A and B are shown apart, each in its own frame.
Chain A
Amino acid sequence: ILNVEQSPQSLHVQEGDSTNFTCSFPSSNFYALHWYRWETAKSPEALFVMTLNGDEKKKGRISATLNTKEGYSYLYIKGSQPEDSATYLCAPDNNAGNMLTFGGGTRLMVKP
């Protein structure tokens, strides 16, 4: 069982603030790192799949970076909006079989 840690567990920000959170995972036998966004009462939805050290992905105001050598990924949200309120999950694949191990998530709440 992989040790996947996400920090912080929860985060309250004001609308317009930029924020970031961290996913730490084992660097050995790494294949990919997935980020998912999970809104309350909905299903988790994929944000990014990252595979290469130094990868940076962007979707609108959300971006992510990846360091496979030290085993971490950052997710950034620029100018947070209330609709960004969700739990953000990271999940590394360390065995090439698309078996993901999910972290506990970071719950983001954006106040108008």
Chain B
Amino acid sequence: DADVTQTPRNRITKTGKRIMLECSQTKGHDRMYWYRQDPGLGLRLIYYSFDVKDINKGEISDGYSVSRQAQAKFSLSLESAIPNQTALYFCATSGGGVGYQETQYFGPGTRLLVL
């Protein structure tokens, strides 16, 4: 079984709809991240959480919110989806070592299309 899972894997929604992307991990890591990927722009950090009570905005948090329901679960919500939120979304986790040396482990990604 995959260590980092994301649901759904693909989603089509309409402008104005609320949508939630979910991430679960079995690696026992404290740190979890949400990124979005747009062609030619690499991965951009949306939100990150270093433990259940610690949530922080990343580079592009506007229009998004998150919830860290448990150590293993980190959800990303789009309160009112808009077309320029069409992207590939990745969840990642890290932990167990010195912060800046920790490898991040990525989920399989969720491809979101907002019409």
Instruction: Let me know if B42 and A98 touch, CB within 8 A.
Output: no
Tell me if A49 and B106 are in contact (CB < 8 A).
no
Binds B, one of A11-19, A61-69, A71-79, A100-108: A100-108
Question: Within residues 18 to 60 of chain A, which ones have a CB less than 8 A from any CB in chain B?
Answer: 31-32, 34, 42-46, 49, 51
The distance in angstroms between the C-alpha atoms of A93 and B48, with both chains bound, is 14
A-B contact count (CB 8 A): 59
Interface size class of B (residues with CB under 8 A): 20 to 34
Chain A count of residues within 8 A CB distance of the other chain: 26
- Pick the residue among B31, B35, B108 that contacts A98 (CB under 8 A): B31
In the complex, what residues of B have CB within 8 A of residue A91's CB? 43
Which of B42, B48, B94, B102 is A89 in contact with, Cβ under 8 Å? B42
B100 & A93 in contact (Cβ 8 Å cutoff): yes
The complex places the Cα of A105 from the Cα of B100 at a distance, in Å, of 20
Asked whether A112 is an interface residue with its Cβ less than 8 Å from the other chain, the reply is: no
Q: Mark B88-108, 1 if CB is under 8 A from A, else 0.
A: 001000100001111111111
B interface vs A, CB < 8 Å?
Answer: 4, 31, 35, 40-45, 48, 50, 58-59, 90, 94, 99-109
